[in-house]
Amino acid sequence: MTDLRPTDTAGEGQARPRAAFPVTRGREKGYDRDAVDDFLLRARESFEGRAAEPLTSWDVRHAAFALVRGGYAIDAVDSALGRIEDAFAAREREAEVGRLGAAGWVGRTRELAQEVLDRLSRPPGRRFDRVSVLRFGYRVDEVDLVADRICRYLESGQTVTVEQVRAVAFRMQRGGYREQQVDAVLDSVVEVMLAVS
């Protein structure tokens, strides 16, 4: 977990935990410091079993923060969130192995990997639903390039890292792929990669 240390005060002499991330300067924007600090505190409490509403690796993967001047450096926070997600995923994997047994867990992971491969093996341009020509979706050619690379990873073990999948970003185009579908499949890819790491 990211180290938390008191560096600011929150009125009346109360120490307020602040994460040890670099802060942006000038016009550069970063993640809202309060929102990041609150989320990291919640993640720590959840990981230690003290949270009223526990988090999962999915929650960590989908954490989002407003961009503000004087915020935390985006790359530093994203890197820390990746490590936190890995820790949650490892714990979830252990729980699943305990619940399903090793063979059941391997079978479940294989099924998910096969579902992803079946989706991404469709012909280019038809791997996901398209939005109408009046709306914007992910650029089809960019998504197809990433899909091809993930297929090679799943079929032959071509090197792709979890960080690369987490960091993928697509430009938008009219009539592009439906964002929610693409994002859901990328989430499944991350889940498979974390399950076998």
Task: For residue 121, give the H/E element and its range.
Answer: none
* pLDDT value for 11: 44
* pLDDT value for 10: 43
At 152-175, the pLDDT tens digits run 999 988 899 988 998 899 999 999
Q: Mean pLDDT score of the chain, rounded to an integer? A: 86
Strands (E), 15-157: 15-19, 29-31, 67-69, 136-138
pTM: 0.65
Q: Would strands 15-19 and 29-31 be described as parallel, antiparallel, or unpaired?
A: unpaired
* pLDDT value for 3: 41
- Hey, CA dihedral for 189, 191, 192, 193, is it positive or negative? positive
Look at 32-36, 104-108, 117-121, 124-128 and tell me which has the smallest mean pLDDT. Answer: 104-108
Distance CA 77, CA 64 (A): 11
Write the DSSP symbol of residue 25.
-
At 2-47, the pLDDT tens digits run 443 334 444 444 555 677 899 999 999 999 999 999 999 999 999 9
Do 186 and 165 meet the contact criterion of CB atoms below 8 Å apart? yes
